[in-house]
Amino acid sequence: MMEPGLYHLLFVSTALFFIGVYGFFTRRNLVTMLMSIELILNSVNINFIAFNKYLWPHKMDGLFFSIFVIAIAAAEAAVAIAIIINLYRSHQSIDVERAEEMKF
């Protein structure tokens, strides 16, 4: 059996990134859009850890960065969900198509 190398991990993380971007653009449900952003952030985490392990094993910057990314992602999700709940109270829906009072 083949050991997974840097390229395999980068393939996974890049795929995850673009799945996240695709989801962000096509999904109409706010919570799903938030989940797509989490996918993007997690792909970045994989990237950092893979680079750290395979290319720069003596510089721990990548590991620290991924820890901070996780923390920030949690903070961002907390504020975003608070805003979405407030939006739900006024619109009775979390569909982005319904939040269109302002255009052009």
Partner 1 sequence: MKSEWVIAFIIFLLLFIKVGTEMKNDQLLSLVQILLLVNFIAGFFFNETGSLFGGLFTTNTLMVFQKSVLNLGVYLISLLFSGWLKKSEHMPEFFILMLSALLGMFFMISSGNLLMFFLSLELSTIPVAAMANFDLEKKVSSEAAMKMILSSAFSSGILLFGISLIYGTTGTISFAEIPALLNGSPLQILAFVFLFTAFAFKLSIVPFHLWTADVYEGAPIAVTAFLSVISKGSIAFILITALYKVFAPMQEAWYNMVMLLSIITMIVGNLFALRQQNIKRFLAFSSIAQVGFILVGLSSNSIQGVSSVVYFILIYVFSNLAAFAVAGVIAQQTGKENIGDYKGLYQTNPFISWILALALFSLAGIPPTAGFFGKLFLITAGASKGNYFFITVAALNLVISLYYYLRVIRAVFMDKNEHPVEKILLDPPVKLGMIICAAAILLVGLLSWIYDYITSLIM
Residue ranges in 27-91 assigned as alpha helix (H): 30-54, 61-91
Establish if 27 lies at the interface with partner 1 (CB under 8 A).
no
Per CB under 8 A, does 79 bind partner 1?
yes
Which contacts qualify for 81-85: CB closer than 8 Å, 24 or more apart?
A: 81/31, 81/34, 84/30, 84/31, 84/34
Closest to partner 1 by CB, 12 or 37? 37
Q: Residue 95 and residue 65: Cα distance in Å, rounded? A: 33
- Which backbone phi and psi does 29 adopt, to 5 degrees? -95, 130
> Tokens 């006024």 appear where?
90
Choose which of 1, 2, 97, 101 interacts with partner 1 (CB under 8 A).
101
Q: Site for partner 1 (CB under 8 A): which residue of 26, 72, 74, 95?
A: 72
Residue 50 in tokens: 């893979």
Smallest distance from the beta carbon of 1 to partner 1, in angstroms?
A: 26
1 vs 102 by CB, closer to partner 1: 102
Residues near partner 1 (CB under 8 A) are 17, 20, 24, 30, 33-34, 37, 40-41, 43-44, 47-48, 51, 55-56, 59, 61-62, 64-65, 68-69, 72, 75-76, 79-80, 82-84, 86-87, 90-91, 96, 99-104
